[in-house]
Amino acid sequence: MPATLTTRKPHQIAVVDNDLCDECGLCMPLCPPEAIHMTRKGLLVDKEACTGCVKCIAPCPVGALFMVDG
Amino acid sequence: MREVHRPVPRGRTFHGGRLVRHVDILVVGGGPAGCVAAWEAAAAAKALDVLLIERDRAIGAPVRCAEGVGSKGLREFLDPDGASWVSRKISKVIFWAPDDTEVNVGGGDVGYVLDRTRFEPALADEARRAGAEVEIRTEALSMARENGGWRVRLAGPRGESDVLAKVVIGADGVEGMVGRWAGLDTRVPSRDMESCAQYVVSNIDFDPDAIYLHFAEQWAPGGYAWIFPRGEGVANVGLGMVALKSDGRNARQYLDSYLERYFPNGNVTGLTVGGVIVATTVKRTVTDGVILAGDAAHMINPLSGGGIVNAMKAGRMAARHAAAAVCAGDTAAERLQRYHDEWMALLGDDHLKYYRIKDALSRLDDGFYNGLARTVNGIPLEKRTLGRIFAHALINHPMLLPVAARFFV
């Protein structure tokens, strides 16, 4: 079987670094599937809902969002 | 078996084994929109039970704002003269062009830089005085339609509880959830989101009676940098930029560069960050039993990025419509639509025009602003009205014509 069919490209999703995050919530309305939630423990990205579109990454004023392999 | 009867407290019923609190109007979020909404709703009809909830430990903190506000709009709500919540009275506006050409505009009663850690508590006090209940450290977790109203799950200092509200006013800001839960689309495209960062900087030299707005792609692409005085030698220095136009740095990094260039000797304290939605009002601000107000409904002036007075006006309007709807026993979307229409007529339609201007201006480069600054400086200070500036800009910079056409059509 060709390698392209067996190796799945790693799907990247967004994560919040809660040490950097100031909980301003700017990223929340930017998320098309509304996958970012404000919780008592800080902002949290719903891994299942995140589509890896990266729309939340650059606008974060403190650079607290990163893409990681999902 | 003997049953023990305990009186059920007023305004509460047992529901599914749980003591449920009933209110007429629940306001979610204790910012300018929410505080004024609670104040106006309680004042509109004494018989109404109005509850305002705020997630944070205090009304007014943490601050996510540059705290500048126009005088005329502010005075519709509170008297700023001698108020403890005023940091500084502002009597002029100074624009800086990208090449640092200074343009002085305005004079007189321009506005105020607020101390929002005191301003919102003052609004909340008015709400309490009018008869509203205010609960801090209480957040909404979810909400669902029930009996023609909304059952909202709250988490507060004493644990979780439910409240049944006839109308919910969502004044929960940029990160607002009430709209989402109610099925309203409050998402924002990246181009309409300004990423902001601000420090309080002391030991700097500037005119403490002026606010400074600095336009330059290099320092704040797609937005502007600002200096809002808090006192002599102390100011909120910040900027808002559009990430799509960034060179890869985030807002805080842009601000650090800005301070290094313009205020290398300033003492930097308190970082504030946040998002300003520079879009037009959301298509639907109401649904059955729900009204959105302020940032939650994208009611910021998209050209200036100012939203405090807009939020207060929307809060007042939302409260009056909510109170009337509750009193009439009809909280359906069709009735609440009057709020949306009234908002659009008051400011929403203007924001559509401002948005078009912003869009046109965003396509002009630094050279245009440098040229315009020099043109305006040729107009005597006392004759520098916005209309005259615009007229001169059109004569000397015909490329502005499409902007004018879009504005006036």
User: Is residue B35's pLDDT more than 90?
Assistant: yes
Residue B365 lies in a domain: yes
**Both B303 and B327 in a single domain?**
yes
User: Is residue B408's pLDDT more than 70?
Assistant: no
**Both B343 and B365 in a single domain?**
no
Domain that holds residue A48: 3-69
Structure confidence at residue B407 (pLDDT): 45
Q: Which of B277, B308, B339 is the last residue of a domain?
A: B277
B147-165 burial string, b = 16+ CB within 10 Å, else e? eebbbbebbeeeeebbbbb
Q: Model confidence at B399, in pLDDT bands (50, 70, 90)?
A: low
Q: Which of B255, B277, B299 is the last residue of a domain?
A: B277
**Both B170 and B250 in a single domain?**
no
User: Is residue A8's pLDDT more than 60?
Assistant: no
Residue B385 lies in a domain: yes
Q: How many distinct helices (H) and strands (E) make up chain B? A: 11, 19
What CATH number is given to the structural domain containing B155?
A: 3.50.50.60
Q: Model confidence at B309, in pLDDT bands (50, 70, 90)?
A: very high
CB contact under 8 A, B275 and A63: no
**Both B199 and B345 in a single domain?**
no
Q: Does B76 touch chain A (CB under 8 A)?
A: no
**Both B366 and B397 in a single domain?**
yes
Q: Model confidence at B395, in pLDDT bands (50, 70, 90)?
A: low
Smallest CA–CA distance from A28 into chain B, residue: B175
Residue B24 lies in a domain: yes
CB contact under 8 A, B253 and A29: no
| Arithmetic mean of pLDDT, B214-222 | 94
CB contact under 8 A, B174 and A55: no
Tell me how many domains chain B contains.
Answer: 3
Structure confidence at residue B244 (pLDDT): 94
Contact A65, A19 (CB under 8 A): no
Residue B196 lies in a domain: yes
Query: B366-377 and B386-396 helices cross at what angle (nearest 10)?
Result: 120
Question: Which residues does chain A have within 8 Å of residue B174's beta carbon, measured at their own beta carbons?
Answer: 24-26, 28-29
Q: Which of B65, B160, B181, B187 to mutate to test the interface with A (most CBs of A within 10 A)?
A: B187
| Arithmetic mean of pLDDT, B108-135 | 95
**Both B397 and B269 in a single domain?**
no
Q: Which of the two residues, B215 and A8, has the higher pLDDT score?
A: B215
Q: What pTM did the predictor assign?
A: 0.92
**Both B53 and B99 in a single domain?**
no
Residue B78 lies in a domain: no
Structure confidence at residue B104 (pLDDT): 86
Structure confidence at residue B401 (pLDDT): 55
Domain that holds residue B230: 90-104+190-277
Give pLDDT tens digits for B39-59.
999 999 999 999 999 999 999
Give pLDDT tens digits for B172-184.
999 999 999 999 9
Q: Which of the two residues, B201 and B16, has the higher pLDDT score?
A: B201
**Both B132 and B176 in a single domain?**
yes
Q: Which of the two residues, B7 and B58, has the higher pLDDT score?
A: B58
Q: Model confidence at B16, in pLDDT bands (50, 70, 90)?
A: low
Mean pLDDT is lowest, of B2-6, B119-123, B216-220, B272-276, for B2-6
Q: Which of B63, B153, B193 to mutate to test the interface with A (most CBs of A within 10 A)?
A: B193
| Arithmetic mean of pLDDT, B354-377 | 85
Question: Which residues does chain B have within 8 Å of residue A32's beta carbon, measured at their own beta carbons?
Answer: 187
The DSSP element (H or E) to which B72 belongs, if any, is helix B71-75
Contact B98, B371 (CB under 8 A): no
Q: Model confidence at B238, in pLDDT bands (50, 70, 90)?
A: very high
Q: How far apart are the C-alpha atoms of B367 and B373, rounded to whole Å?
A: 10
| Arithmetic mean of pLDDT, B276-304 | 97
B282-303 burial string, b = 16+ CB within 10 Å, else e? bebbbbbbbbbbbbbbbbbbbb
Q: Which of A17, A21, A26 to mutate to test the interface with B (most CBs of B within 10 A)?
A: A26
Find the CB nearest B274 among A26, A38, A40. Answer: A26
What CATH number is given to the structural domain containing A28?
A: 3.30.70.20
Structure confidence at residue B131 (pLDDT): 97
DSSP symbols for B129-165: HHT-EEESS-EEEEEEEETTEEEEEEEETTEEEEEEE
Residue B396 lies in a domain: yes
**Both B323 and B399 in a single domain?**
no
3-state secondary structure of B323: helix
Tell me how many domains chain A contains.
Answer: 1
| Arithmetic mean of pLDDT, B146-153 | 96
What CATH number is given to the structural domain containing B205?
A: 3.30.9.10
CB contact under 8 A, B190 and A26: no
**Both B308 and B375 in a single domain?**
no
Q: Which of B277, B304, B322 is the last residue of a domain?
A: B277
Structure confidence at residue A27 (pLDDT): 98
Mean pLDDT of the residues in chain B: 91
| Arithmetic mean of pLDDT, B306-320 | 97
Name the minimum distance, in Å, from the CA of B24 to any CA of chain A. Answer: 27
Structure confidence at residue B379 (pLDDT): 82
ipTM (interface predicted TM): 0.89
Percent of chain B residues past pLDDT 90, beyond the cut = 76
**Both B248 and B287 in a single domain?**
no
User: Is residue A6's pLDDT more than 90?
Assistant: no
CB contact under 8 A, B175 and A58: no
Structure confidence at residue B271 (pLDDT): 94
CB contact under 8 A, A59 and B190: yes
| Numbered residues of chain A with Cβ closer than 8 Å to any chain B Cβ | 22, 24-32, 34, 38, 40, 55, 58-63
Q: Which two tokens stand for residue B152?
A: 């909202």
User: Is residue B406's pLDDT more than 50?
Assistant: no
User: Is residue A9's pLDDT more than 60?
Assistant: no
Q: Which of the two residues, B408 and B251, has the higher pLDDT score?
A: B251
Please choose, from the candidates A45, A29, A57, A23, the residue with its C-alpha nearest in 3D space to the C-alpha of residue B246. Answer: A57
Residues composing chain B? 409
CB contact under 8 A, A59 and B275: yes
Please choose, from the candidates B331, B298, B334, the residue with its C-alpha nearest in 3D space to the C-alpha of residue B314. Answer: B298
3-state secondary structure of B332: coil
Q: Which of B137, B250, B256 to mutate to test the interface with A (most CBs of A within 10 A)?
A: B250
Contact B245, B221 (CB under 8 A): yes
Find the CB nearest A29 among B187, B273, B274. Answer: B187
Residue B74 lies in a domain: no
**Both B267 and B207 in a single domain?**
yes
Name the minimum distance, in Å, from the CA of A9 to any CA of chain B. Answer: 25
CB contact under 8 A, B187 and A30: yes
| Arithmetic mean of pLDDT, B248-258 | 97
Residue B344 one-letter amino acid = M
Q: Model confidence at B264, in pLDDT bands (50, 70, 90)?
A: very high
Give me the residue label for tokens 């108020």: B83
Q: Does B277 touch chain A (CB under 8 A)?
A: yes
Q: How far apart are the C-alpha atoms of B51 and B98, rounded to whole Å?
A: 47
Q: Which two tokens stand for residue B228?
A: 């809002």
Q: How far apart are the C-alpha atoms of B285 and B337, rounded to whole Å?
A: 8
Q: How far apart are the C-alpha atoms of B242 and B247, rounded to whole Å?
A: 10
Question: Which residues does chain A have within 8 Å of residue B273's beta carbon, measured at their own beta carbons?
Answer: 22, 24, 26, 61-62
| Arithmetic mean of pLDDT, B141-147 | 96
User: Is residue A70's pLDDT more than 90?
Assistant: no
| Arithmetic mean of pLDDT, B296-309 | 94
Structure confidence at residue B390 (pLDDT): 65
Find the CB nearest A24 among B64, B186, B188. Answer: B64
